[in-house]
Amino acid sequence: MSAEERPEALTPDFYLFSIPSMKITVFNGSIHAKRGNTQLMVDAFAAGAGEAGAQVEMVFLAKKNIRPCTACMSCWTRTPGACPVKDDMEELLPKFIGSDIVVMATPIYVDNVTAILKLFIDRLVPLIDPHMETDENSEVCHRKRFDHYPELVVISSCAFPGLAQFQIINAYFKRVAYHMHARVIAEIYRDAAMMLKLWEKTPMKPFVDNYKTLLAVAGREIVKTRALSEQTVRQISQPFVPQEIYIDEVNKYWDRRIAKAEIRGHDTPLSIS
């Protein structure tokens, strides 16, 4: 939609366009877009969801022009529901609010979501009303701007072993969901995720294929029940290998990469400013 075509103030009717019985939109916050471990997980999940009858759309945030929120508050005052910043959020806001389920996909960067996913989430502010109210637990939140908000699924990968790596985003997305009048219906966390790519062309590939199969099962369950079974949660959370073996394999990988790197005449590693 061009700037000329966009209404001065977007109304709920603008966002709630005709959608199929279940519309799932994946917002992938990985800088690697289609090439990363996170997308490997998303592809398998989406395949299962598609088999169950959902329409799945992929949005690679790394390929979008999303500028930071300027906190001008115009989306709450001058043009309610519409951000004055001219960038790709004009097309992404309707995708978000028009979905039944939104998948937030991100690798762990410094214990949190990626910068581009955080930018995207910050820019969702036009979708809520500035007025405050208290909920049944006396907690303060913003009022709804729309009658419908999508439910959330979180898919995340981390190179470090251990599910403790996801503590921060676990809490973060629960708060995001609360303030967006939504709920997190599933979390799929893959620690030791470097094995997903490293094993694809090794005798360990069947382990990766089995994990993809489990992710497809998760996708089907989300479409059918909007939840993951206890069995699926347990299976997709199982470690690939003992932590000590994983650490050893990862360190060998980095030794190989460092040995192949071009030093370009420097006897010591280049400093990063």
What secondary structure does DSSP assign to the chain, as a single string? Answer: --TTTS-SS--HHHH-----S-EEEEEE--TTGGGSHHHHHHHHHHHHHHHTT-EEEEEEGGGS--PPP----GGGTTSTT--SS-STHHHHHHHHHT-SEEEEEEE-BTTB--HHHHHHHHTTGGGEEEEEEE-TTS-EEEEESSS---EEEEEEE-SSSSGGGGHHHHHHHHHHHHHTT--EEEEEEESSTHHHHHTTTSTTHHHHHHHHHHHHHHHHHHHHHSS--HHHHHHHTS-SS-HHHHHHHHHHHHHHHHHHS--TT-SSPPP--
- Mean pLDDT, rounded, for 261-265: 60
Q: What is the pLDDT of residues 81-100, one digit of tens each?
A: 999 999 999 999 999 999 99
Q: What is the pTM assigned to this prediction?
A: 0.88
Give the model's confidence band at 200: pLDDT under 50 very low, under 70 low, under 90 confident, else very high: confident
Which amino acid does the sequence have at 13? Answer: D
Q: What is the pLDDT of residues 34-45, one digit of tens each?
A: 888 999 999 999
Specify the residue for token string 């400013």: 273
Nearest Cα residue to 41 out of 32, 179, 266, 78: 32
Q: Which residues of 183-197 are buried (b: 16+ CB within 10 A; e: fewer)?
A: ebbbbbbbbbbbbbe
Name the more confident of 243 and 199: 243
Give the model's confidence band at 19: pLDDT under 50 very low, under 70 low, under 90 confident, else very high: very low
Give the model's confidence band at 263: pLDDT under 50 very low, under 70 low, under 90 confident, else very high: low
- Mean pLDDT, rounded, for 196-219: 89
The percent of residues above 70 in pLDDT, for the chain, comes to: 88
